[in-house]
């Protein structure tokens, strides 16, 4: 399999060549206001182009959040397509944050919108939600792997409300989030050394080790295993063999030093993503670029393996 056909290998080489930082493009009303702009399509266009032009040649990953474009209707979607195209042609991998999840037949249509070569809004990967059942994502897995694209499945989200669902324990004794991580690991096992199925783990999860995770580690054997394999999130990411998108950084409180603690062995292919913190350094190109440089330098130190 050549590098271009395995999204995992493209992630690996982007990290090696450009670093692991991901810049979020979220034309949020409050950020537009902070830049002295109105909350309208013309302003969202200026904001997004400025951000992309400042960073796309320097970072490995760009993550536009679809909702901030969808709110402007079809014109917003046309802008999103241009933002994606501008980012990809500067060499960044685009992870479109759309958090799609539905019954299999509908899931196929969502995947077709973004993943095949020549799709209307072709990106390198999308975020997907597994809460209709991990198996419902299969059509998206098929389309992603067929076209050399990736998926990032929500496992442990950065918002505190996610915990009650994601830490629930299934009949097999695993948490919902661990089952999501394991399902991605099973697909990635066919790839060496890294596969195309990523997960989302928020940087904010480490501080709150859940009671469930503690119960899972009750037996002595498990304690020994856990000390070797798990992160402070209490989840075992050691068999994932895939990329981990890490939101919750900056504006939500996560710091570069947290990554190692939260991810354990999955640090190697982690992609910390920042939206507000980087945009807030704008609107000047120099301000945005210096925020990016500082974070890239911090990650070179804190993620040394």
List all residues 6 or more positions away from 256 whose beta carbon is below 8 Å from its beta carbon.
249, 272, 295, 298, 299, 301, 302, 303
- What does the alpha-carbon distance between residue 289 and residue 67 come to, in Å, rounded to a whole number? 25
- CB of residue 279 to ligand OMP, shortest distance in Å: 8
Q: Which of 111, 159, 114 is nearest to 136 (CA)?
A: 111
Q: Which of 86, 90, 95, 80 is nearest to 23 (CA)?
A: 95
- CB of residue 244 to ligand OMP, shortest distance in Å: 11
With 0-12 / 13-18 / 19 or more C-beta atoms within 10 angstroms meaning exposed / middle / buried, residue 132 is: middle
- CB of residue 294 to ligand OMP, shortest distance in Å: 15
Interface with ligand OMP, residue 276, by CB under 6 A: yes
Interface with ligand OMP, residue 127, by CB under 6 A: yes
List all residues 6 or more positions away from 221 whose beta carbon is below 8 Å from its beta carbon.
none
- CB of residue 7 to ligand OMP, shortest distance in Å: 16
Q: Please list every residue from 146 through 185 that binds ligand OMP, using CB under 6 A.
A: 157-158
- CB of residue 55 to ligand OMP, shortest distance in Å: 14
With 0-12 / 13-18 / 19 or more C-beta atoms within 10 angstroms meaning exposed / middle / buried, residue 218 is: exposed
- What does the alpha-carbon distance between residue 139 and residue 109 come to, in Å, rounded to a whole number? 9
x-or-dash string of contact with ligand OMP, 72-111, rule CB under 6 A: -------------------------x--------------
Q: Taking a C-beta distance cutoff of 8 angstroms, is the pair 63, 94 a contact?
A: yes
Interface with ligand OMP, residue 275, by CB under 6 A: yes
- What does the alpha-carbon distance between residue 270 and residue 21 come to, in Å, rounded to a whole number? 9
Q: Give me the residues paired with residue 199 across strands.
A: 153, 244
Interface with ligand OMP, residue 24, by CB under 6 A: yes
- What does the alpha-carbon distance between residue 273 and residue 296 come to, in Å, rounded to a whole number? 11
Binding ligand OMP (rule: CB under 6 A), the pick from 130, 195, 196, 250 is 250
Q: What are the structure tokens assigned to 78, written together? A: 């046309």
Interface with ligand OMP, residue 280, by CB under 6 A: no
- CB of residue 220 to ligand OMP, shortest distance in Å: 33
Q: Which is nearer to ligand OMP, 23 or 267 (CB)?
A: 23
CA distances from 66 to 11, 97, 289 (A): 21, 6, 23
Among the candidate windows 5-13, 177-185, 272-280, 283-291, which touches ligand OMP by CB under 6 A?
272-280
Which of 63, 82, 99, 260 is catalytic? The answer is 99
Q: Which is nearer to ligand OMP, 106 or 252 (CB)?
A: 252
Q: Which is nearer to ligand OMP, 185 or 247 (CB)?
A: 247
Based on the residue annotation, tell me whether 239 is a catalytic residue of this protein.
Answer: no
x-or-dash string of contact with ligand OMP, 38-77, rule CB under 6 A: ---------------------------x------------
Interface with ligand OMP, residue 198, by CB under 6 A: no
Binding ligand OMP (rule: CB under 6 A), the pick from 76, 195, 202, 243 is 202
Query: Quick count: other Cβ atoms within 10 Å of Cβ 174?
Result: 17
Give catalytic residue positions.
Answer: 99
What residue ranges bind ligand OMP (CB under 6 A)?
24, 26, 65, 97, 127, 157-158, 200, 202, 247-252, 273-276
């Amino acid at each position: 399999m050549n590098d271009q056909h395995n999204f995992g290998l493209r992630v690996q080489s982007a990290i090696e060549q450009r670093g692991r930082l991901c810049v979020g493009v979220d034309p949020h009303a409050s950020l537009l206001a902070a830049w002295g702009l109105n909350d309208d399509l013309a302003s969202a266009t200026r904001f997004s182009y400025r951000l992309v032009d400042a960073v796309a040649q320097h970072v490995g990953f760009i993550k536009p959040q679809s909702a901030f474009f969808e709110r402007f209707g079809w014109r917003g979607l046309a802008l999103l397509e241009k933002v994606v195209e501008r980012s990809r042609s500067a060499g960044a991998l685009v992870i479109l944050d759309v958090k799609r999840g539905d019954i299999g037949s509908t899931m196929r249509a969502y995947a077709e919108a973004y993943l095949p070569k020549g799709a209307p809004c072709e990106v390198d990967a999308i975020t997907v939600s597994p809460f209709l059942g991990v198996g419902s994502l299969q059509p998206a897995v098929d389309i992603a792997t067929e076209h050399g694209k990736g998926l990032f499945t929500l496992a442990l989200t950065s918002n505190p409300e996610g915990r009650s669902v994601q830490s629930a324990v299934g009949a097999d004794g695993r948490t919902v989030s661990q089952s999501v991580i394991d399902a991605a690991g099973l697909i990635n096992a066919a790839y060496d050394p890294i596969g195309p199925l990523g997960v989302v783990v928020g940087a904010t999860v480490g501080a709150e080790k859940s009671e469930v995770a503690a119960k899972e580690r009750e037996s002595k054997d498990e304690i020994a295993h856990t000390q070797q394999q798990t992160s402070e999130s209490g989840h075992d990411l050691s068999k994932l063999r895939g990329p981990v998108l890490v939101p919750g950084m900056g504006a939500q409180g996560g710091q570069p030093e947290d990554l190692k603690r939260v991810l354990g062995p999955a640090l190697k292919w982690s992609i910390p993503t920042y939206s507000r913190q980087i945009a807030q350094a704008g609107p000047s190109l120099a301000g945005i670029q210096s925020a990016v440089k500082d974070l890239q330098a911090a990650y070179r130190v804190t993620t040394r393996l």
